[in-house]
Structure 1
Amino acid sequence: MTYSRKQFLQNSAILVAASMTSSSFILLKDKPLLAFSTIGCPDWTLKQAIDFAALHKYSGLEIRGINRQLDLPNAVEFNSPDHMESTLATMKEKGLKFVNLGASAAFHMPDGPLRDKHMKEAKSFIDLAQQINCPFVRVFPNEFPKDQDRNKTMEYVANGLRTLGDYAKSRNVTVLMETHGDFSTSDDILKTMKAAEHPNVGLVWDISNMWTETKEAPSIVYKKLKKYIRHTHIKDVKLLAGDKLQYVFLGQGDVPVFDAIDLLSKNGYKGYYSFEWEKLWHPELSEPELAIADYAKVMKKHFKY
């Protein structure tokens, strides 16, 4: 078959356009997905957080309270069909996604009223996540009570995660246990996750939480837990005298956070790098306008884009 010059030029143009589209897609895929938790801006409205995220080229928002309302299903932005529709429309307009909802539910305790209360909260967050197309809900392990057998505590946590995994499965949501509190050693976390094995259960790797407690190298932690990591919390800390911690901007502390970030990136991690500036718990920290803007700048510089 022979081609005229016109056909040749037309086909060439199509191939060039396809190549450019493909290259752009590859570049877009290789950019890290940045998010920040609203724990860092506890006095902002959701609209303020959305606008700031869009301005600084974030891809997503992790919701841990809005205007200090931690019970997200009852937050005004989600507490009626009209409000929810308006919230989702604003997110879509700004090109953002909800990436994780932070519940306060913990499962280190045996059956009883307190555990039932935490289970009810977690399920309400899962229901909300389904409604707003959010893939993850975070829960806590959370502690090893001194008057309770350590293995029994891990069993309680694993059972809670499996129960929530079953509940979340039909809602297209995954429940994530954060590496948090007493559950900071990789062996304890791995044992718990193996006991909780479920397709709709995973981990939030809070790199700083683990490292400041155990000093385990990220390479060791990642090797053990990579199968379960679906989401991350990123922050940096300076270690002070007397085991005190000082939260600092990314790259200014002692945590080998970039070692962990590079491990994730080089091994095909597709989730979000979510900045957790704990302003809600530590009001003395720098204002969110400074911290959240700096995080985006530092991460973009690290990833060279």
Structure 2
Amino acid sequence: MTLVTRRTALKTALSGLTAATLLPVSGFAKSTPTLAFSTLGCPKWDLNTILKTAVSSGYQGVEFRGLLGELDLPKRPEFSTQLAETRRRFASEGVRICNLGSSTQLHHADPAKRTQQLDHARRFIDLAQQLGCPFVRVFPDQLPPDQPRDQTLRLISDGLLELGTYAKTASVTVLLESHGELTHTDLLVPIMQAAKHPNVGLIWDIFNMWVDAHESPTAAYQALKPYIRHVHVKDARVTGDKHDYVLLGQGQAPLREAIGALIKGGYQGYYSFEWEKLWHPEIADPEQAIPHYPGAVKRYF
């Protein structure tokens, strides 16, 4: 018969306790975010630098909002004559081109301007299909004072439906960004309800909506949850009507609340770093800001 000593029993119990602490606890598993960055933050980087930085910094995706100063991506050789090579290189490094940021504005009532804007979006949808990119971003943008608000909202939702129908055959989803004069849920929700389509969704720009609409992230998320497919993340210090962009975690953006709402709601998309260097050249250089983001944002998870 084998005798179990007090020391043996204690050792066995401690071993079991140690093993238990290493096991994931149901309901408390730590979320691992899927990260991307927008090329808005690195307007002078070439494709090599963008891809190398994405890999070395631990990003899973890149969101193209221009390349080397050219916002109309189909005009760049990397997205025209060299497109197949661009797609191959990203795939070989395990980095996805996750979104193409067009400049399309959907608020225009003038028929010529509207046609021009919709054609611009279609070119980006065609490019996204060729790249295997899931999303194309468009803007709602303005509420023209000489145009009835209901008409503007209808123009935007009708444009989304038209583009969503076009994108369906390309397996691409058209995303409206909370942007410009349309950052309030009471404007965005009716647009998205009227534009209900499997190939239409929304980009939630957390900071823009919070600083412009003064809505809590929890309330904004609850209202927009059915439509959110992509998220833009940035931080800033706010003084009155002015805000200065700073490295993530050094400002006042309510990111913990927003990311908490996304996690609780089961969001599985990209958390894309939108460092607006192209529009604000005075902010930190991309060599500092873009590698900093992955470690900084993971603290919120």
Aligned equivalent of 2:56: 55
Does structure 1 conserve the Cα–Cα contact (< 8 Å) formed by 2:235 and 2:252? yes
Contact 2:41–2:277 under 8 Å retained in 1: yes
The verdict on how the C-alpha distance between 1:190 and 1:59 changes in structure 2, with shifts beyond 3 A counting, is same
Q: Report the AA paired with residue 211 of structure 1.
A: W
Residue 286 (structure 1) aligns with? 284
How many correspondences in the alignment?
A: 275
Partner of 1:122: 121
**In 1, Cα distance between the equivalents of 2:235 and 2:162?**
33
Give distance in 2, aligned partners of 1:149 and 1:118: 20
Residues 255 and 300 in structure 2, CA contact (< 8 A), matched pair in contact too: no
Shift of the alpha carbon at 1:301? 3.0
Q: AA paired with 1:201? A: V
Structure 2 equivalent of residue 100 of structure 1: 99
What is the deviation of 1:135?
A: 0.3
Matches within 5 A, 1:32-51: 32-51=33-52
Does the Cα contact within 8 Å between 2:133 and 2:172 map onto a contact in 1? Answer: yes
CA distance in 1, matches of 2:98, 2:264: 22
Residue of structure 2 in register with 1:175 after alignment:
174
Query: Any unmatched runs of 5+ in structure 2?
Result: 1-23
**Contact 2:259 2:300 survives alignment (8 Å):** no
Map of 2:267 onto structure 1: 269
The residue number in structure 2 matching 1:233 is: 232
- Per-residue deviation, residues 137-185 of structure 1 (Å, max 9, x unmatched): 0000011001111111000000000000000001000000000011011
- Opposite residue 200 of structure 2, the aligned amino acid is V
Aligned-pair CA distance for 1:258? 2.1
**What code does the residue aligned with 2:48 have?**
K
| Map 1:14-163 → 2, pairs under 5 A | 30-80=31-81, 83-163=82-162
TM-score, normalised by the number of residues in structure 1: 0.87
Q: 1:225/1:279 Cα in 2 relative to 1: closer, same or farther (>3 Å)?
A: same
Contact 2:143 2:181 in 1 (8 A): yes
Secondary structure of 2:71's partner? Answer: coil
CA RMSD for the aligned pairs?
A: 1.6
1:207-222 alignment to 2 at 5 Å?
Answer: 207-222=206-221
Paired residue type of 2:271: Y
- 1:58-94 CA-to-partner distances (Å, cap 9, x unmatched) read 00000000001111111110111xx112111211221
Q: Could you say what secondary structure the match of 2:141 adopts?
A: coil
1: distance between equivalents of 2:178 and 2:158?
Answer: 17
Cα deviation code 1:103-156 (max 9, x no counterpart):
000111114111111111100000000000000000000110011111110000
Alpha-carbon spacing, 1:170–1:129, altered in 2? closer, same or farther (3 Å)? same
Partner residue, 2:3: none
Q: Which runs of 4+ in 1 moved over 2 A?
A: 300-303
CA distance in 2, matches of 1:279, 1:101: 17
1:130 is aligned with what amino acid? Q
What are the Cα deviations for residues 233-288 of structure 1, in whole angstroms up to 9, with x where unaligned? 100121124x1110111121122122111111122111000000000000001000
- Range that drifts further, 250-259 or 148-157: 250-259
| TM norm structure 2 | 0.89
For the pair shown, the structure with the greater C-alpha radius of gyration is: 2
Distance 1:29 1:214 in 2: 31
**Cα shift at 1:29:** 10
Give ranges in structure 1 of 5+ residues lacking alignment.
1-22
Question: In structure 1, what is the equivalent of residue 164 of structure 2?
Answer: 165
